[in-house]
């Protein structure tokens, strides 16, 4: 049986098309978004690590500290593969299973909480940075494109995702309510399906309508989860561990070396049908 750690599940109610929705999270203001009353809406589902920002290994070191603390280890844990594109749920389950022989929800949840605790201090200590053109693109969208809503589709936990975008000053640009996180499902395909379901539940998309969702990421798992829900995918390579040929098995809709220098060009590119 899969072990899935969920620290916050947001239930949404139905809402009529064309309404103005005010979305906020405790301590983090979020701009308003408008449903698609006569206007074609676009929902940009951004990955965090490698796409929006790089933390300079803050997450990796936080996880190592959490493992040593929780399991009373002195030696660093050796991962068997890259963590890029993986969900925190799957990473935690793999660690616990490797160390303990099997994984229980209690062990997984406890290790996850330890990780989130250490992440806060590591984010401040590691001095990461936003990827090129991220902040000005998000600001431009916020100020000039009311029909475009920025979401997060990430392998991070909900708490970890909020901590990361808050630390780098871009939290205000995202609708956290309709975003989807790596503590809701182990597989990234399922994380994408949860995001779609959240939009559907609030009447922001229609059943079977996924062409208004664009997933922006940097790993093959981003292209695969987009394909799983029939959404388009833009791959941005600036912070990626992967090369263009790594996407041959599941090609994205678009692939860029970095976000366009002019945010207006970004809007033109994603507005193509």
Question: Residues 118-145: pLDDT tens digits?
Answer: 999 999 999 899 999 999 999 999 999 9
| Nearest in space to 183 (alpha carbons), one of 219, 158, 166 | 158
Low-confidence ranges of the chain (pLDDT < 70): 1-39
User: What is the pLDDT at residue 199?
Assistant: 97
User: Under DSSP, is residue 24 helix (H, G, I), strand (E, B) or coil?
Assistant: coil
Output the pTM of the full model.
Answer: 0.83
User: What is the pLDDT at residue 39?
Assistant: 65
User: What is the pLDDT at residue 38?
Assistant: 52
User: What is the pLDDT at residue 80?
Assistant: 78
| Residue 246 in tokens | 């790594």
User: What is the pLDDT at residue 84?
Assistant: 79
**Ranges of H-type helices in 19-87:** 58-71
């Amino acid at each position: 049986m899969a072990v899935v750690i969920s620290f916050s599940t947001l239930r949404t109610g139905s809402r009529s098309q064309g309404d103005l929705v005010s979305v906020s999270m405790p301590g983090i203001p979020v701009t308003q978004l408008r449903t698609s009353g006569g206007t074609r809406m676009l929902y940009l589902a951004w990955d965090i690590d490698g796409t929006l920002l790089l933390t300079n290994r803050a997450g990796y070191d936080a996880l190592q500290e959490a493992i040593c603390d929780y399991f009373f280890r002195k030696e660093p844990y050796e991962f068997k593969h890259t963590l890029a594109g993986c969900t925190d749920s799957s990473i935690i389950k793999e660690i616990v299973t490797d160390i303990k022989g099997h994984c229980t929800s209690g062990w997984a949840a406890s290790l996850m909480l330890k990780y989130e605790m250490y992440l806060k201090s590591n984010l401040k200590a590691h001095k990461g940075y936003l990827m090129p053109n991220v902040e000005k693109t998000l600001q431009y969208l916020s100020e000039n494109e009311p029909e475009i809503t920025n979401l997060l589709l990430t392998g991070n936990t909900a708490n970890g995702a909020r901590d990361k975008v808050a630390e780098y000053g871009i939290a205000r640009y995202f609708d956290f309510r309709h975003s989807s996180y790596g503590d809701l499902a182990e597989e990234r395909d399922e994380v994408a399906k949860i995001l779609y379901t959240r939009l559907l539940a609030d009447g922001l998309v229609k059943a079977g309508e996924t062409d208004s969702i664009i997933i922006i990421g940097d790993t093959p798992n981003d292209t695969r989860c987009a394909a799983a829900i029939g959404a388009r995918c833009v791959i941005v390579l600036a912070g990626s561990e992967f090369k263009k040929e790594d996407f041959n098995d599941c090609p994205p809709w678009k692939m860029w070396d970095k976000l366009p220098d002019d945010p207006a060009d970004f809007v033109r590119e994603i507005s193509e049908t």
